[in-house]
Structure 1
């Protein structure tokens, strides 16, 4: 959301939303009412709700929603002589033209109370409502403009002609040509000369589900920034995560929490920030699930941590401990990356401690494939095998794109992640050092991404997604058709139901990419784990049915449970057909490259946008070397607020 002068000069952002804000409208008290769209570690469809802000961008706060999952709330406008507003509640992610139910929202109940919203239409095909009073409304409805009330009465004000309807025209945005009282004019209170804003937290222990946290538990706040994408290709999160965060997240650092639960600190303005409360072991106690921001020079105060927004500050005698000193500066974490990249930062830890047993080779320590767990860094069709395994084996805890906002303490993030139980010495003596544990904690608490660059989007996968459709698929390749024929003849007799094998490297087998159940038994034979595109002959689809005498693992079983070698020898023509199927996909991946492969170059749309943003010169040669990690950083920094002069 931006503002400008009457003549269009001095355009400046007043929101730090890295997604988008919608349909701003002035309220009688001078604030701006708008719809905020966000994806902070929650479902991508359930939290697009109503917010308010002063016209200068200060005092951003929720008007209705953001706690409970629900619909898209948009096109909200005030009702005369009332505190309530009329809005469209558009089902799901929102329908075209903002079609939805006309709904009245009364803020006197508070932003979390379902009683505040009252639906007054029975069908979701209205748009652009206007309130004449609390019982008389105008709206567009397809090819008509209608007048309606809360009792269900409705009359047409206007209809398009038959010719206009046949031409596909519809009605939009009705407005009465009538005077109305001017909204209150709020003065600007932004200090543009200041390069920081300030956050004040009164008591971190005051809030929903915080009573069980003993005072003194929380020592710090981890300050995280949700990072803007320079380009997007699809509606999912791939390949940033497998069913998790939609964006990269950056560690800014930590600030101390005083013994009384208070904190007071500086923060960069106009950035999408959120906080994680950490205990003495730097484990996540409680995590924000929505971003906040400050304008230059603004102080934003919080009563507590996830406190009900209708709560007033607790009565105290004297100032909180944090306010007895100047605001603290965010302390960077210098010995760890601020933006994590799984192959670069996490895989080396797994290589040192895990892969000897959970890899493809037999070693002095164990393996191969101990516990049917693979933590080697080999490429699958979209992710590495280790990343896929850590996700579906729930070795780290994130919100999994769920419509949930308020977890109990220690229920989400690093403290709830199973991986730490396997590296504390209790699991066959495996003991990670303090720095390795720190790396894992911060990776998990910044959304556990696979790539650490947005240049990884839109490329590097056999079976990636573009506009929610699988692309770069192998279904029609001759090698894949031959391999699929082998599977139908020699595998499908046993592999039925949830055990069906993927018949192509890009075959999802109807498993939802965006919101799958990590306990779905089909994930055990997902394309993301049975095909190895780094070492094709190490693919599970080849090792599992191959006899041990031929170098396989002989994992197939007869109906009585006894071992069965479907392929006694690598000379079997059907085995070779399967092998060629995987090798063809591996060769294709070598051609298109993934972000962590030698010779990787960002896709042209990414470079095009970097030129458009002024990060790269317009005449930048298409074959010149480029570091996408540096380009991302330059792009993010180009959006930072800098005082004039």
Structure 2
């Protein structure tokens, strides 16, 4: 027994031999955390057989794991990722070459049930895989399914057989946790041959139990002709069966990655080819916007109730911060061809001539250094072939375009307070400020509250924006959300009290809606354990303020609220929560004192509304230090590999 990886304070799991003699595995070496909770995630890595030259081959923002090898040499793995969509049904199967190039969806990325498609292995001699259909909120167990990707990449059609048989109905009509309610739970499938499979299956379990002693699993044989036989029961549960036998070596895919490079190339053949492009006339798409979805490097004890818990609060309902890298032109035939930064998790949006979004990707992709990758269109049928054309796409006849930075500035994480609020400050405050005589008025002021700021909360509560949030698994139709679908756009584009916005100001507001209405630019915060992980008031102070004012602030700590912003830290006396106690001098004085205390703390330690002003809490400083350290080690490894050297983990 020989230990190969020796890095401190990381976890290396799920190793598998590669056809070229290397080893792929998952690791927490780029420390990032679950956007809808607080636990650490992992990405795919590879190394030589002696443990040298460890390098990252996947950079999605959540989890990449349970790798196995297909006969053609690709890695098959399960990926948990979400961009502008629900967290719970976003675990599907993907493939990637052993050098990290050509990440591609395999099955289940837009399937609402099961919540997770896990632990897939190719069935020998076939083009099918066997895998686990699992719930989101439970252990990685559920049903065992055989999937034939030739029948589709989502839904029930590719499912050729499933154990238990009746659970096929859960694929048709279920949700993210439907596979939580089975008579028996299966996991860790291993194909013996085309017809027989070893699995771990519960012998008994305690309904609702999460702990190891709440169930017992044994080693079972499943057969396609109906056999389900217990082969072995141990004192404790048995998991992860493997057949030890000679097998044919998979194909070796030549490496294309160049560790000396920092860029790659994307192309799109025709953006008008897609399954959800209803109403999009050819010629309407003028630009392709490239947006980065950064990883979450820290977490807080306090959380906000978006469409899933955010720790800390980041946006009204969705989970991601965003960084607009810029735009590239779309040619008349719908093609695009451009350079993009490697090792960066990005997604794309189609824009019209006004820079309003037509369609959005709602998933992510990445390039390895020197990689060229592309697609047929926007959400094209994955089983289709490109529409025949006698000519090379126009964009591919030219050198790849360079991304034009958004607003001609270096990319920064999008901040509502820094980029959107100044527009309201300039044009709207004469009419849309706090008014004690009219609490139904739309308030667009910058006053901060325990969660966000007044304008941000009120735009959502008043339903002036139509956004997808942490939306459904299904691909959405073009024009269905964002600037084109929002009431706010009608105000911007109309003659609203003769307010005239510049083109740049309009584009900023369109972009904010199109990237799903984000607020905070970063996950780091000055306040770790307070309400939403953002409030400058301690929890006992929030409780006291609630008792004084009669407002249940904890009930407002979620996106389902229908009450507008109640606290104004910038101008405490303007806080609407004070309306009921203004005549009670004692209560009013104490409530104002509490709100002023929040204002004082926000000035001393800005919480992150504007990134450059942020003073992170001490624990976040340590997490950021560790992240930077791991990033430096990855850079050193890649530099050594580019020079033909060997480099090992330092203990």
Q: TM-score range by the shorter chain?
A: 0.7 to 0.9
Q: What secondary structure, in the 3-state scheme, does the structure 2 residue paired with 1:530 have?
A: coil
Shift of 1:175: 1.2
> Structure 1: how far apart are the matches of 2:617 and 2:289?
33
Counterpart position of 1:542: 578
Give the match for residue 508 of structure 1.
555
Structure 2 counterpart of 1:464: 532
How far off its partner does 1:18 sit? 2.1
Asked which structure has the greater CA Rg, the reply is: 1
Give the Cα separation in 2 of the matches to 1:640 and 1:391. 46
Superposed counterparts of 1:206-225, under 5 Å: 206-225=273-292
For 1:352 and 1:340, the matched residues in 2 are separated by 19
**Greater relative contact order structure (CA < 8 Å, 6+ sep):** 2
Which residue in the other structure is 1:114 paired with? 156
Change (3 A) 1:124 1:50: farther
- 1:350 aligns to 2:424 (yes or no): yes
Q: Corresponding residue for 1:434?
A: 503
* 2:641 maps to 1:605: no
Tell me the CA shift for residue 473 of structure 1: 5.7
- Work out the number of aligned pairs and report it: 558
CA–CA distance in structure 1, aligned partners of residues 197 and 642 of structure 2 = 45
- Which residue matches 2:123? 79
In the TM superposition, residue 124 of structure 1 has moved relative to its aligned partner by 5.7
**Structure 1 Cα separation of the partners of residues 628 and 539 of structure 2:** 37
Aligned to 1:530: 566
Alignment of 1:79-478 (within 5 A): 79-93=123-137, 95-96=138-139, 98-117=140-159, 118-121=161-164, 122-123=182-183, 125-141=185-201, 142-150=216-224, 153-161=227-235, 165=236, 170-233=237-300, 236-237=309-310, 239=312, 241-335=314-408, 338-361=412-435, 369=438, 371-456=440-525, 459=527, 462-464=530-532, 474=539
Task: After TM superposition, give the deviation of residue 259 of structure 1 in Å.
Answer: 0.6
In structure 2, the residue corresponding to 1:133 is in which secondary structure?
Answer: coil
Q: Which SS does the other structure have where 2:150 is aligned?
A: helix
Cα gap change, 1:172/1:644 in structure 2, threshold over 3 Å: closer, same or farther?
same
C-alpha contact 2:55 2:638 (8 A) present in aligned 1: no
**Do the aligned residues in 2 keep the contact of 1:271 with 1:294 (CA within 8 Å)?**
yes
- Cα distance change on mapping 1:268 and 1:242 into 2, 3 Å: closer
Match of 1:18 in 2: 61
Deviation (angstroms), 1:294: 2.1
Distance, in Å, in 2 between the alignment partners of 1:130 and 1:190 is 31
Structure 2: tracts of 5 or more residues without a match:
1-43, 165-181, 202-215, 644-651
Output the CA distance in 2 between the equivalents of 1:210 and 1:128: 39
Query: Which range is displaced more, 444-453 or 127-136?
Result: 444-453
Alpha carbons of structure 1 residues 531 and 219: separation in structure 2 relative to 1, 3 Å: same
Provide the C-alpha distance between the structure 2 equivalents of 1:388 and 1:460, rounded to a whole number of angstroms: 21
Q: Distance in 2 between matches of 1:190 and 1:574?
A: 66
2:356–2:511 contact (8 Å) kept in structure 1: no
Question: Would you say the 8 A contact 1:421–1:427 is kept in 2?
Answer: no
- Name stretches of at least 5 consecutive residues in structure 1 with no aligned partner: 363-367, 488-500, 518-522, 547-566, 617-633
- C-alpha separation in 1, matches of 2:218 and 2:536: 40
Whole-Å Cα distance in 1 between the matches of residues 340 and 638 of structure 2? 12
Q: TM-score, normalised by structure 2?
A: 0.78
Contact 1:201 1:301 in 2 (8 A): yes
SS at 1:200's partner residue?
Answer: strand
Looking at structure 2, the residues matched to 378 and 481 of structure 1 have their Cα atoms a distance apart, in angstroms, of 19
**Which TM-score applies when normalising by structure 1?**
0.79
Q: Is the 8 A contact 1:195 1:641 kept in 2?
A: no
Secondary structure in structure 2 of the residue aligned to 1:357: coil
Q: CA deviation at 1:72?
A: 0.5
Q: What do the CA deviations read for 1:457-485 (whole angstroms, capped 9, x no partner)?
A: x727851259xxx997635878347527x
d(CA) in 1 for partners of 2:408, 2:635? 25
SS of match in other structure, 1:386: helix
User: What do residues 2-57 of structure 1 show as CA deviations (whole Å, max 9, x unaligned)?
Assistant: 11111111111112212220101001221111001111111111111001112122
